[in-house]
A and B are shown apart, each in its own frame.
Chain A
Amino acid sequence: MKTEITLDGKKIQAQIGKPLIDVASDHGVYIPSLCYMRGKPCLGTCRVCSVRVNGHVMASCTVPVYEGMEVEVDAPDLVDMRKALVEFLFVEGNHNCPSCEKSGRCELQAVGYETGMMVSRFPYRFPVRTRDHASKYIWLERDRCIFCQRCVEFIRDEETGQKIFSIDKRSTHSSIEIDVKLADKMTPKQVKRAADICPVGCIIDKDLGFNKPIGERKYEIKSIKERILKGKTNE
């Protein structure tokens, strides 16, 4: 069933119950996000898609459309807030784009460009995180993990459905972990999928890196905004 909602002052018709972020992109309003994947259950971890609904700031991937909704996306304070959230992620880990295999096809980087980030307003933390390369096919570069939990929820052992990736500890001590036994059973297709859905360069396919020249990489050919607005997904 459809209902009328207000999106940045414009009245639009939207399906009741549909995630707000999808409705916005269907109406040409790009809301950046790093954890949400269209068609998949919402994770609500990155908060980068924050908008104002009836006066309250909330992550638009977590909000289903309901009657009489008034949504603000492009208010200056919200634009700056989303930018600040992206800047937070850049200082929280070590995001060294010049030396990263994922550069050019990294969602965090692409969203950084879309939000107009030039520098972070927060002090760079330079945390010390160890890498994990015990698995046969996957490099785990913990420096770059933003704890979106896409791999935790959507990459599972094909036989048992058990999680392959998990997050250990809490807060600043959190770290992404990999079950090496299960990871070694992954098919090449699944490894590729895991590396592809990782929005940063944390899960790296050991066989792949720097394979495309600068200028021909994913988000250089077509920006993440164009991909979401036209193709409906960032793939």
Chain B
Amino acid sequence: MSNVVKNEIASHELPATPMDPAVMAKREEKIQVAMIGLCGCWGCTLSFLDMDAGLLSLLDKINISRASITDIKRIPKRCAIGFVEGGVANDENIETLEHFRENCDILISVGACAVWGGVPAMRNDVTLEACFKEAYIDSPTTVPGTKPVIPFHEDLPLITSKVYPCHEVVKMDYFLPGCPPEGEAIFKVLDDLVNGREIDLPTSINRYD
């Protein structure tokens, strides 16, 4: 590992065209909502978009801050609500999750992976060594005649030995299971929070798959 200071700029540090002040002022007043994916498949984020017209009805009250759909890389202003998809499987996930915990008032685990590890947690039965061996050394897709390599570089996140649910890493306030949860279920939770009601997900839309 080298200690040379690298000549690199993160995308959130790049200069951006300033927004119209009137639009910005309006956004400032709204409830800030963020959503991020850790070790998952981004299916829950798609479910977030599945709120469809429901999301439109909330846009007068909320502003979507850091999320994959806005491409904002760091939370610019403290958020009221943060949705987290995916479990914790590497050190980058831990960093992102802690960044969310520090910058969000309410943090919600969305989907099976965030709630208990989900499909990535199926590797919890085997050691990390066996996992890497299967993926990079004994993989049926290894090109014959080449020297198999386990990727390792300072720019690559370090893989954790097990996959953890989010609440085993930081405190999570609410849980929304499902693989993925229906857009309707995410909408119900968001609508309850935005309107200051206690979250109450009806049995009929609570799903584990």
Binding site for B on A (CB under 8 A): 90, 94, 96-100, 103-104, 109, 112-114, 116, 118-120, 123-124, 126, 128, 214, 223
B176 near A97 with CB under 8 A, answer no
CB distance from B189 to the nearest CB of A (A): 10
Docked Cα-Cα span, A113 to B206, in Å, equals 6
Q: Which residues of B contact A113 (CB under 8 A)?
A: 203, 206-208
Docked Cα-Cα span, A223 to B206, in Å, equals 12
Digitize B132-172: 1 where CB-to-A-CB distance is under 8 Å, 0 elsewhere.
00000000000000000000000000000010010110000
CB distance from B39 to the nearest CB of A (A): 14
* CB nearest neighbor in B for A214: B209
Q: Which residues of A contact B206 (CB under 8 A)?
A: 113, 116, 118
B112 near A119 with CB under 8 A, answer no
List 12 A-B residue pairs with CB atoms under 8 Å apart, sorted by A's residue number.
A96-B119, A98-B112, A98-B209, A104-B209, A116-B206, A118-B175, A118-B201, A119-B165, A119-B167, A120-B116, A124-B116, A126-B117
CB distance from A91 to the nearest CB of B (A): 8
B125 near A126 with CB under 8 A, answer yes
CB distance from B45 to the nearest CB of A (A): 16
B contact residues, range: 20 to 34
Docked Cα-Cα span, A104 to B124, in Å, equals 25
B177 near A114 with CB under 8 A, answer no
Q: Which residues of A contact B109 (CB under 8 A)?
A: 119
Q: Which residues of B contact A100 (CB under 8 A)?
A: 209
A118 near B115 with CB under 8 A, answer yes
Partner of A99, one of B116, B119, B168, B204: B119
CB distance from A127 to the nearest CB of B (A): 8
CB distance from A204 to the nearest CB of B (A): 16
* Residue B122 interfacial (CB < 8 Å): yes
Docked Cα-Cα span, A109 to B177, in Å, equals 12
B177 near A118 with CB under 8 A, answer yes
B112 near A97 with CB under 8 A, answer yes
Q: Which residues of A contact B209 (CB under 8 A)?
A: 97-98, 100, 103-104, 109, 214
* Residue B51 interfacial (CB < 8 Å): no
Would A114 and B117 be within 8 Å (CB), given that A97-B112, A97-B179 are in contact? no
Docked Cα-Cα span, A99 to B165, in Å, equals 18
B112 near A126 with CB under 8 A, answer no
A119 near B179 with CB under 8 A, answer no
CB distance from A92 to the nearest CB of B (A): 13
* Residue B82 interfacial (CB < 8 Å): no
Docked Cα-Cα span, A98 to B113, in Å, equals 10
Partner of A103, one of B119, B125, B176, B208: B208
Q: Which residues of A contact B124 (CB under 8 A)?
A: 126
* CB nearest neighbor in B for A124: B116
A119 near B203 with CB under 8 A, answer no
Docked Cα-Cα span, A223 to B125, in Å, equals 33
Give 3 closest A-B pairs by Cβ, nearest first.
A98-B179, A97-B208, A118-B175
Docked Cα-Cα span, A90 to B109, in Å, equals 17
* Residue B121 interfacial (CB < 8 Å): yes
Q: Which residues of A contact B86 (CB under 8 A)?
A: none
B208 near A124 with CB under 8 A, answer no
* CB nearest neighbor in A for B167: A119
Q: Which residues of B contact A97 (CB under 8 A)?
A: 112, 179, 208-209
A119 near B117 with CB under 8 A, answer no
Digitize B185-209: 1 where CB-to-A-CB distance is under 8 Å, 0 elsewhere.
0000000000000000101101111
Q: Which residues of B contact A104 (CB under 8 A)?
A: 209
Docked Cα-Cα span, A109 to B206, in Å, equals 10
B122 near A119 with CB under 8 A, answer no
* Residue B118 interfacial (CB < 8 Å): yes
Docked Cα-Cα span, A128 to B122, in Å, equals 10
Q: Which residues of B contact A99 (CB under 8 A)?
A: 119, 122
Known: A120-B116, A123-B168. 14 other contacts (CB 8 A): A94-B125, A96-B112, A98-B179, A98-B208, A98-B209, A113-B208, A114-B203, A116-B203, A118-B115, A119-B109, A119-B165, A124-B116, A126-B117, A126-B121
Docked Cα-Cα span, A18 to B47, in Å, equals 47
A119 near B208 with CB under 8 A, answer no
* CB nearest neighbor in B for A98: B179
